[in-house]
Amino acid sequence: MGIFFRAIFLLSLLSNVSAGNHGDDTHQMRNNSPEWEIEAYTSAAPSFIGDHATVIGASGKVLREGTNGWRCEPFMQMPEGGFKNPHETAAACSDKNAVAWADAYKANTTPELKADGWIWMIHGDLGVDNFKPYTDGQKDAGHKHFIESGAHIMLMPKDPSSLEGQTTDFTSGSPYVMFKGTPYVHLMIPLEGYYDYQPEAAPK
């Protein structure tokens, strides 16, 4: 991405977030172009990772080949009319180990990781039930343990049993286990802004 485009994109995000709508009109400016997708997905990780990562578009096609072994992509399908903002994409940047987890989750198969993996999700996601995979974005479906996340990192374990003893309480502000007892168990690590989209879940 050119410096000018990156500056305009980030300024538009910051101005929308500060206005309290988290960039709802960003798609009006960029129309979910390949350039918009690349910027939205790669900015789910720090620039020193995202700038050199492979990018997969909402279509499933490679938008840009990377050089550092990381892969950035949306975890949600593009809705009719396009994404309204990066948060709506649930963009994720996975290292080479976590790519295996991401592929397995999308294919509903058991992940087979060669080592622990990491995923950055600075834009957060549209939420899931903390104990039920494939409830992505179902905020109004009555799930009992639903959490719509702001910025976070995820640790995807090669050995799921290594997370035994960690809390599943997503209201404490501490790292917590998601999808316990399933093949997709992983550790959620909240960052600043994690509870922006569901403030009622924040620590009291």
pLDDT at 30: 55
| For the chain, percent of residues with pLDDT exceeding 90 | 81
Q: What is the model's pTM? A: 0.84
pLDDT at 70 over 80: yes
The residue ranges of every structural domain in the chain are: 3-199
Tokens of 163: 């997370």
Residue 129 CB partners (closer than 8 Å, separation 6+):
135, 138, 143, 144, 145, 146
* Closest of 36, 46, 49, 41 to residue 8, by C-alpha: 36
Quick one: 73 exposed, middle or buried, by C-beta within 10 A (0-12, 13-18, 19+)? buried
Structural element, H or E, at residue 190: strand 186-190
Following CA atoms 158, 78, 151, 162 in sequence, which dihedral angle do they give, to the nearest 10 degrees?
-10
Structure confidence by residue, pLDDT tens digits, 118-175: 999 999 999 999 999 999 989 889 999 999 999 999 999 999 999 999 999 999 999 9
The type of residue at 43 is S
Can you tell me whether residue 176 is helix, strand or coil?
A: strand
Structural element, H or E, at residue 187: strand 186-190
**% helix / strand / coil in the chain, to the nearest 5?**
25, 15, 55
Tokens of 112: 């087979």
Residue-by-residue DSSP string for 29-94 = HHTT-HHHHHHHHHTTS-HHHHTTSEEE-TTSSEEE--SSS-EEE-SSPPPTT--SSHHHHT-EEE
Tokens of 46: 């720090």
Q: What is the mean pLDDT of the chain?
A: 88
